[in-house]
Chains A and B, each alone.
Chain A
Amino acid sequence: MSDTVEPDYVEGLGISSGNGGGYGLNTPSAGDLENGFASGPLNGGENLGASVRGTLDEPVSATLKRDIYEINGRLKQVVYPHFPFGAGVAAEESEITASADLWAPLCFTILYALALSFGRTLFSSLFVLSWASMLAMGLHLRATKPHAAVSLMSYVSGTGYCLFPQVINAVFSSVLFPLFVHVFPAVSWRLRILVLLRIITFVLCSAWSYKAACVVTCSNTSVERYPLALFLVGLGWLCVVL
């Protein structure tokens, strides 16, 4: 009896992620099937390639690296093109329905709450506030656009990706800028410079995330856009005052 445990998931047979973050069904070739199923049980799994063995045997670093690449690929679609000074790219409805993962929004909310609660007991309330904001934005979009074929989870995921600029805002405002202002010898000017830097980052990141959210969720009217602006600017303002 073999000691190895065969994985249930075989890459190439199941749903695998594409390069751009979208999902598609990959049909296995005849060679894959022959190598995977025929040689596996006979050789006790010793000669199985990494692609056939799935993700059970791969190191955790490889798994994390793949996830980060996937999140980055989706950010390239959703967030990066809408930087305030860049030329925006018109989004299509398929962009938001292409993927509805909550893995990236979870990472972003954890990072946002962790950065802002640096040394304070605010993590849980900020984490809940971030998720409540995303859920409220999703429900608002679902209510104002009831005939669009986009699910609530897709809206939550899309707006969750638009939190990425606020994560940058939080990390800069609470971690990097306080370290940076220590180079100034005058203590009285440290807080003033810190607040000034925070306000500049707040304006830039809030405009960035609002623009991305409007384009990704295809919000065209002020009725649809206003709640997105309210939440994203509010989350950004917390980075200034906390």
Chain B
Amino acid sequence: MDDPNPFADSHAANYGASTKSYEPLETPPPYHDSAPADTNASAGADTRSYAHYFQISPEQLRERLAAALKLQKLQPEGQLELEPDLYAPVWVTATVVAALFFAHSVRLLVTALVHSTPLDTVTEYSRLTSCAFLFYAYTGLAPAAVHVIAGHVLGVRVHVTLPALVCIYGYANAAWVPVAVASSIANVLVASSAANVFGWVCVAAGAVHSGAVLFRQLRDVCDAEDAARWRPVLVAVLAVHAGFACAVKAVVF
């Protein structure tokens, strides 16, 4: 056998001896950076693309929530466009879901305590997931539908971006939190025979308030010449909102 044994120590020691010796290239490598690589740069870059929507100060959040609850404009006076944040759509909606679930479970808990009957827990848990799905689907899909229909189908030039639309829907949801708190208190006091009527009253209050926030924010977001084409979109927004309120009544109250 004339072939060298690749596993022999001598072969391993002389590996590469017959090849051309290393000569440094005259041309620079394709990419050369004089500064040392920042290990956090890549991780920071991908989060920065969406993280700036969550950079909101507590004072600004408080002002916007107060404006939404008082039926005022979310942006300061004189400012046409809303600087969007996605903190409210995510966490105000989560608060609404938690508050509605809390209100309903308090009623069941009090009923169980008064009558000493066991809790219907599995139904209660499925109600939480249905409520979360309903609110997040509405807060995410309805603004996207408005954006696509107004901008791409009807060709209306609106002064509101998709994140700003989602932001408006998120702040509009804030109206459901006091409704949930009020219903949790009243559910304890109101007799079970009147619970259905009281549920409709709660849903109507929440739907009217959040619909008013939507109407106030979306009323004048387009130029005067596009106002005629924007009006049907506004009517459709309020109609879909009424349908959403009926779904809330069916799932939660």
Contact = CB atoms under 8 A, between A and B. Distances in A.
Contacts of B91: 140, 226-227, 230
B122 A241 contact: no
Interface in A114-128: 120-122, 125
A144 B121 contact: no
Contact of A230 (B48, B94, B117, B119): B94
A242 B124 contact: yes
A191 B112 contact: yes
A143 B58 contact: no
B105 A237 contact: yes
B54 A241 contact: no
Contact of A240 (B50, B53, B109, B116): B109
Interface residues of B, number: 36
B87 interface: yes
A120 B118 CA distance: 14
Contact of B54 (A121, A122, A143, A222): A143
A188 interface: yes
B98 interface: yes
Contacts of B182: none
B102 A237 contact: yes
A191 B44 CA distance: 51
A191 B108 CA distance: 13
Contacts of B105: 237, 240-241
A91 interface: no
Interface string A72-114: 0000000000000000000000000000000000000000000
B69 to A, nearest CB: 17
Nearest to B108: A241
Interface string B193-211: 0000000000000000000
A219 interface: no
Interface in A174-188: 187-188
Give me the 6 closest cross-chain CB pairs, A-B, nearest first. A146-B51, A143-B54, A241-B105, A188-B116, A143-B51, A242-B121
8 contacts: A121-B122, A122-B121, A143-B54, A144-B54, A188-B116, A227-B94, A237-B105, A240-B109
